[in-house]
Amino acid sequence: MSGWIFLSGMMGTGKSTVARQLAAQLGVEPVDLDARIAARAGTSIPEIFRAEGEEAFRRLEAEEARALLDEGRPTVVALGGGTVTRDDTRRMLLRHGTLITLSAPAEELARRLAGTTGRPLLESGESAQILADLLEERAAVYAECHAEVRTEGRDPAAVAREVLAVARRRPIVVPLGRRTYRVEIGAGVLATLGSRLQRHVPGAVVLVTDENVHRPWAARAIEHAEEAGRKVVPVVLTPGEAHKTIAAVEAIWDAALDAGVDRRAGVLAVAGGVPGDLAGFAAATLLRGVRFAQVPTSLLAMVDSSVGGKTGFDRPQGKNLVGAFHQPEFVLVDVDTLATLPDEEMSAGLAEVLKAAWLESEEAVAGLERDAAALRAKEPAAVERAIRMAVQLKADVVAEDEREAGTRMVLNLGHTIGHAIEAASDFTIRHGEAVGLGLLAAFRIAAGLGDPDAPLHERRCERLLRAFGLPTDLDRHLDERTLAFVGADKKRAAGKVRFVVPGPPGRVERVPLTPERIRALLG
């Protein structure tokens, strides 16, 4: 069994039929959520609708789904057509299993449903029109799924096979309504680039990479894109944070414009976080915005920068001070690409993994402690586990607060001082290395603010940083120049930085602090 599989979609899409097919393939007993609710209530669904109204019915669905999960025996579940319209139910299903939306056009659904009874939402008029209106109304919630699978003109067994393939791949969903996208993680997923481009990017592909990644990864991506019939405009940037400038963005704009691309084009980053952020910004601004996609090739880009839609470039005053939010259409994390990543870059990415684990839970931090040596050695299973943990955390946070109005700021744990250290070193210190030091600084600030356990947490963090091959010599970096950069942090409001103060794993607090106070607390 591949965990829970939930089949959603409009009435008539064949949820129950496909659930039976799938369950037979897997040798499990399928569940029909409506049937369970009716059995428990001792009455029919139309009767519950009539007596108690739609909202009460949705609440029953939520309770029944929760009860089912609590039973703890993963199986295939055919949901009701409107089960996912409740935000809490939908997010719960997304988190606990594979949520698939089966789809078909309204006219086809009306044809399939003709002559059936027991559909309360179809009782008020002409079915095809009601279905078309409902599909439009529910488009954003149906889009929040692991995959939309077409059913029109297809054999249920073929639909079931496609659903199962998604469940086995376990993509991570960043649920943002109609702009929902998926992060596919695994060895060899780069080979699926062509079909993803065919689906998401109708025009030319402006492929941004850097000199270190060009061979073999970007070259391979170009082959896949060309085989899929896409014209490719390659842009090979000079590697390194020192080149994360407007000049690099101009190089991308100009390559695209010289090639005469139109608004059907997409920008694809096949690289680490620096070209990724630059390519995203170029996509956000080129022709007032074209599609964007990412194939991150550094661990840091896989676990952090490729997901969440923040794009931009540095200015002499500080890092990432000019940018835009622009979400990708898809992200392909091919762990095979890490084979050529230098060890120091692997270590730098592990600092962001540690940050994510500290935000996530005690279990996640303990998992890193167990896996530390395997991670440093790029052992595939451990690496994939860590990437999944970090990407899931990021997806959850971004879903809650896409534009960093509040909760998303927690992702800046370790970054206020980290960015300052990085900038003060003229970017000779890697971003991830600086974030590791920034984490230690954050614990020191927590201690200064009176948390008696902070020194303990700091030591735990320090041990992990060492195990990952990262620097821990914080004091050496806390000089005047670094502290001056703390004042330039863009998350300032009314002269104060919203500092992310860590507690035990899974708990952080945002505390407004003036740069002067931060200085004093760092001693």
- Where along the sequence are the contacts to ligand NAD (CB under 6 A)? 210, 212-213, 217, 239-241, 244, 271-275, 277, 297-298, 300-301, 304-305, 308, 310, 319-320, 337, 340-341, 345, 348, 431-432
Check if 95 is active-site. no
Residues 6+ apart with CB under 8 A from 224: 190, 191, 193, 194, 197
Check if 288 is active-site. yes
Cα–Cα distance list, 278 to 66, 206, 252, 286 (Å):
43, 12, 8, 12
In the complex with ligand NAD, which residue's Cβ is closer, 74 or 328? 328
In the complex with ligand NAD, which residue's Cβ is closer, 13 or 337? 337
Which one, of 22, 14, 28, 96, lies nearest residue 62 by Cα? 96
Cα–Cα distance list, 208 to 204, 216, 339, 395 (Å):
13, 14, 20, 24
- Least spacing, CB of residue 212 vs ligand NAD, in Å: 3
Which phi and psi angles does 74 have, rounded to 5°?
-55, 135
- Least spacing, CB of residue 198 vs ligand NAD, in Å: 25
Catalytic hit among 345, 404, 433, 458: 404
- Least spacing, CB of residue 423 vs ligand NAD, in Å: 10
- Least spacing, CB of residue 237 vs ligand NAD, in Å: 9
Catalytic hit among 212, 319, 412, 458: 412
Catalytic hit among 15, 90, 326, 431: 431
Catalytic hit among 230, 394, 444, 457: 394
Measured distance CA(463)–CA(472) in Å, rounded: 9
Check if 148 is active-site. no
Helices (H), 43-183: 45-52, 54-71, 87-96, 106-113, 127-137, 139-143, 156-169
In the complex with ligand NAD, which residue's Cβ is closer, 208 or 290? 208
Check if 490 is active-site. no
- Least spacing, CB of residue 377 vs ligand NAD, in Å: 16
Cα–Cα distance list, 162 to 99, 228, 236 (Å):
13, 21, 36
Check if 477 is active-site. no
Check if 431 is active-site. yes
Check if 123 is active-site. no
> For residues 370 and 453, is the Cβ–Cβ distance under 8 A?
no
* Tokens found for residue 288: 């007032």
For residue 203, the one-letter residue type is G
- Least spacing, CB of residue 393 vs ligand NAD, in Å: 13
Catalytic hit among 138, 214, 415, 457: 415
In the complex with ligand NAD, which residue's Cβ is closer, 90 or 214? 214
In the complex with ligand NAD, which residue's Cβ is closer, 46 or 380? 380
* Tokens found for residue 182: 């998926």
In the complex with ligand NAD, which residue's Cβ is closer, 82 or 175? 175
3-state secondary structure labels for all residues of 236-252: EECCCHHHCCHHHHHHH
Check if 404 is active-site. yes
Catalytic hit among 61, 241, 329, 352: 352
Residues involved in catalysis: 288, 310, 352, 394, 404, 408, 412, 415, 419, 431
